[in-house]
């Protein structure tokens, strides 16, 4: 009985040596010395024969195999951790290859394609809800892309504005820089046209934390003052309405203590998409494609030359493009194909078509953009003022600068998840 167990154990050990040798051979067979490979194969065959018959000098055969394997692939018998590391490197290499040649992830940063694709958005909310607090907030963000963002003062002092970029506002408190993302400007959107009823929600929040209208009427359109407690004082129907300033906007000139909230609200991540990098290698871009393109050939003071944009393809090579009565016109004909263009022109959620833009190349209904033989015109679906810096301002994009069309929204798991339409 002991002999049987010993034989089984020996067979198992020899199998491990054989697998080690084969792994070494497979890893280096394209670059190893042919003589070393031959010696390894012979040593491997000798161990296989001993394992099959149970006869022969096991110790000598194993030593010969180890030496041959190490000559082909040094340290062939790696630890489990090293094996996992190697596997991970191979997997990452495969992922990088897929990204480089087939599909590339891309995130939508702005609202230029809304409501087709969402950029990062912010919404007024008086306090975090239960799923925006630990320990649930990470899971909530992982699924929905939603979080409650709070920007606090890093030091004590008066808040001043020091400029910034299209993406970020720069503020200072006692010399310390505070960066406020431009997407949080959505918090300033209090509806001054709506007629409120007493008890209507002005700013939503968790149950019991909503900010409610104190009277019937409209919010005064002259803005509001700031009281001693840092609230914005408005009037609805002649009645005072106080709203914490940090739920609306940073207050330039206000004194903040270190740790005070400058701005807070609900933030929802922009859509993350996959781009098909192969398609345009075999097929021409088509009108209506939502495509990612490199900005390297664009000359415009507000466009960085080292980034990528995503817009809808509205104009094809050689066409004369205009906007007339909020409709896109190519060579004198209204663009209605594919049907998405008619939806943009007629569906209220798209604000009824495309806007001409003062100061752009399409500054009037008579203005036009003449595309070259290798150029495409790209526009956002949201062409309301200050929403989309697109082909209306910088003209056509060369074919060589396109990465490919957007095909799938893979995160967050909200209404846009799935195939891009």
> What pLDDT shows up at residue 186?
64
Residue 333, SS3 per DSSP:
strand
Most confident of 158-167, 238-247, 408-417: 408-417
- What is the rounded average pLDDT of the residues 336-343? 90
Residue 86 confidence (pLDDT): 58
Q: Which of 124-138, 179-193, 296-310 has the lowest mean pLDDT?
A: 179-193
pLDDT tens digits for range 365-409: 999 999 999 999 999 998 888 788 999 999 999 999 999 999 999
pLDDT for position 21: 79
Residue 193 confidence (pLDDT) above 70: yes
Q: What is the pLDDT of residue 351?
A: 76
pLDDT single digits (tens) 95-112: 665 655 678 889 988 888
Nearest alpha carbon to residue 323 among 361, 376, 285: 361
Mean pLDDT confidence for 235-264: 89
Using pLDDT thresholds of 50, 70 and 90, give the confidence band for residue 189: low
Contact 293, 397 (CB under 8 A): yes
Question: Of 109, 124, 126, 118, whose CA–CA distance to 267 is shortest?
Answer: 124
For the chain, give the percent of residues with pLDDT over 90. Answer: 46
Maximum Cα interatomic distance, the chain, rounded to a whole number of Å: 103
pLDDT at 37 over 60: yes
316: pLDDT confidence band, cut at 50, 70 and 90? very high
Residue 76 vs residue 147, higher pLDDT:
147
| Nearest residue to 151 (alpha-carbon basis) of 119, 134, 166, 173 | 173
pLDDT at 165: 79
- Judged against a pLDDT cut of 60, whether residue 1 lies above it is answered with no
How confident is residue 76, by pLDDT bands cut at 50, 70 and 90?
A: very low
Token digits of residue 78: 């790696």
The string of DSSP letters for 203-217 reads E--STT--EE-SSSB
User: pLDDT-based confidence at 226, cuts 50/70/90?
Assistant: confident
For residue 224, what pLDDT is reported?
64
pLDDT top residue among 334 and 235: 334
pLDDT of residue 53: 84
Specify the pLDDT at position 96.
61
Residue 137: pLDDT over 80? yes
For residue 345 the two structure tokens come to 């022109």
Average pLDDT for 272-277: 94
Distance CA 318, CA 323 (A): 17
Per the prediction, the chain carries an average pLDDT of 86
Mean pLDDT, rounded, for 67-78: 68
Q: Is 6 helix (H, G, I), strand (E, B) or coil?
A: helix
Q: Tens of pLDDT along 323-332?
A: 999 999 999 9
Element housing 360 (H / E): none
Q: What is the structure's pLDDT at 62?
A: 82
What pLDDT shows up at residue 386?
79
- Range ranked top by mean pLDDT from 23-37, 90-104, 138-152, 184-198: 138-152
On the question of pLDDT at 77 being above 50, the answer is: no
Extract the runs of DSSP E, i.e. beta strands, from 174-254: 176-181, 201-203, 211-212, 225-226, 231-236, 239-244
| Mean local confidence (pLDDT), 171-189 | 85
CA angle 75, 79, 80 (to 5 degrees): 140
Q: Is the pLDDT of residue 83 over 90?
A: no
Above pLDDT 70, what percent of the chain?
A: 90
Beta strands in 87-152 (DSSP E): 103-107, 121-123, 146-152
Q: Average pLDDT in the 270-285 region?
A: 93
Look up the pTM and report it. Answer: 0.72
């Amino acid at each position: 009985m002991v002999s049987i167990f010993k034989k089984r154990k020996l067979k198992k050990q020899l199998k491990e040596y054989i697998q080690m040798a084969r792994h070494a051979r497979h890893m280096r067979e394209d670059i190893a010395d042919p003589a070393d490979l031959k010696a390894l194969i012979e040593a491997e065959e000798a161990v296989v024969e001993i394992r099959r018959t149970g006869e022969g000098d096991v110790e000598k055969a194993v030593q010969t195999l180890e030496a041959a394997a190490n000559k082909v692939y040094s340290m062939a018998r790696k630890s489990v951790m090293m094996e996992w590391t190697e596997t991970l490197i191979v997997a990452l290499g495969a992922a990088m290859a897929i990204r480089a040649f087939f599909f590339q992830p891309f995130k939508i940063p702005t609202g230029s394609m809304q409501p087709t694709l969402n950029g990062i958005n912010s919404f007024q909310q008086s306090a975090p809800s239960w799923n925006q607090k630990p320990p649930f907030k990470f899971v909530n963000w992982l699924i929905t892309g939603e979080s409650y963002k709070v920007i606090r003062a890093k030091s004590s002092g008066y808040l001043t504005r020091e400029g910034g970029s299209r993406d970020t506002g720069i503020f200072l408190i006692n010399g310390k820089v505070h960066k406020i993302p431009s997407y949080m400007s959505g918090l300033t959107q209090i509806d001054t046209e709506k007629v409120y009823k007493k008890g209507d929600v002005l700013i939503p929040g968790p149950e019991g934390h909503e900010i409610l209208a104190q009277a019937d009427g409209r919010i005064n359109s002259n803005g509001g003052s700031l009281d001693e407690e840092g609230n914005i004082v408005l009037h609805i129907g002649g009645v005072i309405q106080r709203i914490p300033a940090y739920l609306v906007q940073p207050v330039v000139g206000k004194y903040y203590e270190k740790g005070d909230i400058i701005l807070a609200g609900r933030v929802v991540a922009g859509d993350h998409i996959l781009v098909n990098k192969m398609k345009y290698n075999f097929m021409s871009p088509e009108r209506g494609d939502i495509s990612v393109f490199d900005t390297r050939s664009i000359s415009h003071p507000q466009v960085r030359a080292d980034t990528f944009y995503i817009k809808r393809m509205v104009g094809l090579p050689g066409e004369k493009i205009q906007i007339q009565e909020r409709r896109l016109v190519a060579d004198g004909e209204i663009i209605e194909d594919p049907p998405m263009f008619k939806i943009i022109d007629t569906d209220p959620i798209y604000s009824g078509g495309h806007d001409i833009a003062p100061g752009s190349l399409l500054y009037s209904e008579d203005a036009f953009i003449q595309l070259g033989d290798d150029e495409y015109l790209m526009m956002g679906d949201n062409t309301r003022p200050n929403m989309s810096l697109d082909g209306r301002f910088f003209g056509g994009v060369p074919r060589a600068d396109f990465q490919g069309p957007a095909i799938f929204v893979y995160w967050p798991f909200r209404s846009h998840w799935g195939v891009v339409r």
